[in-house]
Structure 1
Amino acid sequence: MSQQPIANSQQPTAPRQLLLDVDVGIDDAVMMLYLAAEPAAEIVAVGSCHGNCSAALSAINALKVLEVVGLDRVPVALGAESPLADPMFAAEVHGHDGLADVGLPPPRRNVSGESAVDQILRLSRERPGALDLLAVGAMTNLALALEHDADVLARFRTVAILGGYSRPPRPNDAVTVDPNIYKSPDAAERLFAATAPLFVVPVDTSFHYSELDDDHIARLRASTTPQGRFAWKILPYYFDFYQHRLGRWSSCMHDPLVPAVLLDPTLIAGMVSRPMYVEPVANVHRGVGRDDAEAAHLPPRAPAQIVTAVDKRRFLDRFVDALVTPLGALRPVGDD
């Protein structure tokens, strides 16, 4: 039976305040562009992490994206440069600079003097219960924050992540990768074992419910807004890479799906409540949600709320609307 998401079922009157922990590659960048246009969201601060590129490049890319949408006062903090194990990057997916190698100019400002870990700790204490922590890269910054304060994540309204699988793997699964987990598996396991209001969009959900359709791609191609034009500069590189996997020139919008379902829970068509564990599978690690019977022999931990199905069309419509509508003009969800 589906369970209710952590997020309130009605659209809030005030925007949800978000602390982003991001490895700013292509889909992270378009997620930030979407959030900048979404009236239900306010980006309070950004912390960089490793994953699609190095944490240093991720921070530079975050600054570039924020400039595009006029969010020059949002602080960007530099995160951990290495995972708790060996580093892995994804230049073949996102480009050597993380943003499709299209020759973007450097940002006009620098990262803040605060580390991403210290930023997580500080904001959790300054605004307990008010912030959503949105983590869509490797979980190293979150794990390091837990080393300093075991209760740090419990002070967030939600800790929303992209990663893991909603259930144990099966032999014929089409989806086999779990990059945000295998790039720092020890960090992910610490997160899953922590006390936190954990809200998970797993990769078996994001792969099935976030692939752009041809009509959405056409709308993005024709966009004249700053955020839409920037998105179209970098997305074709992503489409080129995924064409061999998907069989068509497109890609999944993995990262944007996480805040979309957090901000508008009516998009959620299925959800389960299960504890998450990091497990070795085929020489890599992935996060796995296990039901009570499967978890009986494993260390007990609080369940995460795991999204298993989404209204794909409504999600993609809203996501593209945010990129092609002039900044400040996108109407709230349900405001007819």
Structure 2
Amino acid sequence: MELTHKVILDTDIGTDVDDALALAVLLGSKDVDLLGITTVYGDTKLRAQIALHLCLIAEREIPVFAGESMPLSGKDVWLSGAEGEDIEGLDRHLVSTNSGVDFMVGAVNAQPGQVDLMAIGPLTNIARAIESSIEFMQNIKHLWIMGGDFSESKIEHNFKCDVTAAKKVLESNIPITILDLPSAQKTIIRSKEINRIRNSGKLGPFLYAEIMKWIEPRNQDWTIPHDPIAILGCLQPAYFQLSNFGKVHINPDGVSRWAEHPDGNVQLLLHKEPEKAVEKMIALLNALN
């Protein structure tokens, strides 16, 4: 059977738990050909080792490449300090010496119009890919982004971490769909769903531990699965609605605005059935048996 989606995941996995959930969703999707994973922002080698660790638990061999560690903006990198904490054996995972940007450009240009690129971290790798290859922009099938906050004058983390890269990517002519922060916040997983994740598939115990590591210091019994929901926008479009096309403006502080425009390249991913999206996420985690 031919797989429906050829995908590259670009991620800052290791800081918040939702990147790991997003990777698990892709690994559990039988209609996804995950061509590779690229990591971005900060200690990208460590992030790559975390991604390799998840793939090992899931018994999947997926190429993983460390990408750009420093933002184009020159801004200092912010890390939680908990990246990779309590994950034993990360040093055994050998990361490719090939760069994440080179892999991304090569894979997209080798399969024009076939590769969906899913960006769930700062957009530095994609911006560097645009700089390095004119063909890259033309050859991407679609770019799916989790980022931005278009409802108020708020600054969202992924865009803030590299405003220069975000501006370059959003003002390109690449076809883009964005799940922004307010839309993502319509899906919340609480204790009931978190306990179901604990017992779901090969990655369940790991994901549960990562969720608890994130929510317990914040005295929460819930979390928002921003990144896996953005992934589901591509894989399960029936659960979502799309806005008309528009353009995004982002100011130097990272405040972003989307406005409908006939020549725009950016659509917003809007929830239609958020509860079903959460159920599908858990079902895909269970598929990793």
TM-score relative to the length of structure 1 = 0.79
**1:332 aligned residue:** none
1:157 aligns with 2:141: yes
Summarize the alignment of residues 211-226 of structure 1 with structure 2, pairs less than 5 Å apart. Answer: 211-221=188-198, 223=199, 225-226=201-202
Counterpart of 1:45, as a letter, is: G
- Counterparts of 1:288 and 1:64 in 2: how far apart (Å)? 37
Summarize the alignment of residues 246-325 of structure 1 with structure 2, pairs less than 5 Å apart. Answer: 248-280=220-252, 284-292=253-261, 302-325=264-287
**1:193 aligned residue:** 171
Moved more, 105-114 or 255-264: 105-114
| CA RMSD of superposed structures (Å) | 2.1
CA pair 272-236 structure 1, distance change in 2 beyond 3 A: farther
Shift of the alpha carbon at 1:38?
A: 1.4
| Larger CA Rg, structure 1 vs 2 | 1
After superposition, give the CA deviation of every residue in 1:301-336 in whole Å (9 maximum; x if it has no partner): 633011132411101101112223443xxxxxxxxx
Q: Secondary structure at the match of 2:102?
A: helix
CA pair 86-178 structure 1, distance change in 2 beyond 3 A: same
**1:81 aligned residue:** 69
Counterpart of 1:178, as a letter, is: E
Report if the CA contact (8 A) 1:164-1:289 is conserved.
no
Report if the CA contact (8 A) 2:145-2:178 is conserved.
yes
1:42 aligns with 2:18: no
Report if the CA contact (8 A) 1:153-1:159 is conserved.
no
Summarize the alignment of residues 89-108 of structure 1 with structure 2, pairs less than 5 Å apart. Answer: 89-91=78-80, 96-99=81-84, 101-106=85-90, 108=92
Counterpart of 1:323, as a letter, is: L
Query: How many residue pairs were aligned?
Result: 286
Q: Secondary structure at the match of 1:258?
A: helix
After superposition, give the CA deviation of every residue in 1:238-285 in whole Å (9 maximum; x if it has no partner): 222554xxxx411100110111111111010453321012125xxx31
Q: Secondary structure at the match of 2:68?
A: coil
Percent identity of the aligned residues?
Answer: 19
Counterpart of 2:21, as a letter, is: V
Q: Secondary structure at the match of 2:251?
A: strand
Counterpart of 1:214, as a letter, is: S
Summarize the alignment of residues 159-238 of structure 1 with structure 2, pairs less than 5 Å apart. Answer: 159-167=143-151, 169=152, 176-207=154-185, 209-221=186-198, 223=199, 225-238=201-214
TM-score relative to the length of structure 2 = 0.91
After superposition, give the CA deviation of every residue in 1:47-89 in whole Å (9 maximum; x if it has no partner): 1101xx52222111111111111122x2111111100121332
Summarize the alignment of residues 106-121 of structure 1 with structure 2, pairs less than 5 Å apart. Answer: 106=90, 108-121=92-105
CA pair 316-274 structure 1, distance change in 2 beyond 3 A: same
Report if the CA contact (8 A) 1:165-1:289 is conserved.
no
